[in-house]
Amino acid sequence: MNRILIALIGAFVLNNAYADEIIISSQQQLNLGITVSQLGKNTALSSRHYPAEIVVPIGQERVMSAPQSGLLDMLYVAAGQEVKKGQPVAHLTSPDLVGFQRDYLQALTQKKLADQTLARDQELFKDGIIAQRRYLETQSKFEEASASLAQRKQALRLSGMSDGAINQLQSSSGMSGGITLTAPMDGQVLEQMVTVGQRVDMAMPLYRIGHLNPLWLEIHAPLEGLPFVKLGMPVNVPKLQASGKLIAIVRSVNKTDQTLHLRAEINQGAEKLSPGQFVEAEINLGGTNSHFSVPKSALVRKGPEAWLFVQSVKGFTPVKISVISEQGDEAIIDGNFKGQEKIAVTGTTALKGSWIGLRAE
């Protein structure tokens, strides 16, 4: 070490080797180039705004599609309208529907005939008039007719007919050339993908409907914030007075900008937000946070341990800390601090020399 530096620290070294407090005067601090700075609160996540996107939660969004090909001759709702489950949203005219109904009515007739035949042969078999083989054949035909009817009924359901419409068809035998499509859930029509008079194919999307309370907030936060975030932490959108909590920490880093993917559920003020909207989000680490930001120059290494020199009345006191992360010229540390302490940020070499009992040559 430089002899001038040794001479300057010699006055307070002899009595302070490995002491809890390094006694040093203001003039000695000035001569040694020791400067102090107030301990900074960690700003890796709190007190900063981060880009986020509003999305509809999984399970709260449905896409209505055409159950079969046909012509849309009527639309009842448009984008932005609120709908209730079962509310009519469109009417589809389809020639294929007539064929499905015809097949169902034929299967229904065959099922009734098989039912009557089975009842008759069952009585004949009991009286010993017919052989068991014939009775079993009749029973087999009845089961086939029942399966065929169930298949035709399911085809009508897939084509968009409700059970009520199917039962009405069964009682009146009045076939219809069109069906009324209804909303599958309560929510808002987010997108209308077709127009009146348009011909559509089977499974073609018609509407996108979503339930918009609560909503999800997809946040892109700095990677160094990973040690600090925990599920349940408060999250808010300051400009729109919306708030919620953190529900997921996605451990998949964005390769482009090395950001951390977080997800929050917004249940307060969700009506002020819209899916696809980009906002600024803020994560509140809480008042019990013991993480602080310090310049890397303030860190003092002693073997595997890290320390800070905290200013005291007579000089400085070494305090052991844990280094959470280091990014650029800043380090995030964890320690037992109140947040008002002042720490040495330059001249730490001289303080370390005094602390370990450096002796002049």
Please tell me which residue, 316 or 227, carries the higher pLDDT value.
316
pLDDT surpassing 50 at residue 10: no
Q: Are residue 241 and residue 336 in the same domain, yes or no? A: no
Rounded Cα distance between 103 and 83, Å, is 34
Mean pLDDT of 78-95: 93
Shared domain for 113 and 177, answered yes or no, is: yes
| CATH code of 332's domain | 2.40.420.20
Same domain membership, residue 178 and residue 72: yes
- The tens digit of pLDDT for each residue in 260-318 reads 899 999 999 999 999 999 999 988 776 545 678 888 889 998 888 899 999 998 899 99
Q: Which helix (H) or strand (E) covers residue 237, if one does?
A: strand 234-237
45-54, 198-207, 274-283: segment of lowest average pLDDT: 45-54
Instruction: Indicate whether 111 and 30 sit together in one domain.
Output: no
Is 173 domain-assigned?
Answer: yes
- Predicted local confidence at residue 290, as pLDDT: 61
| 8 Å CB contact between 41 and 332 | no
Residue, of 168 and 361, whose pLDDT is higher:
168
Q: Note down the domain range covering 305.
A: 3-42+289-355
Which of 7-16, 127-136, 269-278 has the lowest average pLDDT?
Answer: 7-16
One domain for residues 278 and 302: no
Please report whether residue 360 resides in a domain.
no
Q: Per the domain annotation, does 56 fall within a domain?
A: no
According to the model, what pLDDT value does residue 42 have?
60
Model confidence at 43, pLDDT cuts 50, 70, 90, reads low
CATH number of residue 80's parent domain: 2.40.50.100
Please give the tally of structural domains in the chain.
3
Whether 94 and 18 map to the same domain: the answer is: no
pLDDT of the residue at 1: 46
Domain-terminating residue out of 209, 225, 254: 209
The answer to whether residue 51 sits within a structural domain is: no
201 and 150 within one domain: yes
Same-domain status, 126 and 72: yes
- Asked if 183 and 80 sit in the same domain, the reply is yes
Q: For Cα atoms 49, 263, 237, give the angle at the middle one, nearest 5 degrees.
A: 35
Tell me, yes or no, whether 238 and 330 share the same domain: no
Q: Indicate if 223 and 318 belong to the same structural domain.
A: no
Residues 89 and 189 in one domain: yes
Write out the DSSP string of 336-351: S--S--EEEEE-HHHH
Asked if 198 and 93 touch (Cβ cutoff 8 Å), the reply is no
Sheet with 205-210: list strands edge to edge: 61-65, 205-210, 187-192, 82-83
Alpha carbon distance 210, 197 (integer Å): 25
SS3 state at 104:
helix
- Please tell me the pTM assigned to this model: 0.62
pLDDT band at 208 (very low <50, low <70, confident <90, very high): very high
Q: What is the pLDDT of residue 325?
A: 72
124 φ, ψ (degrees, to nearest 5): -65, -35
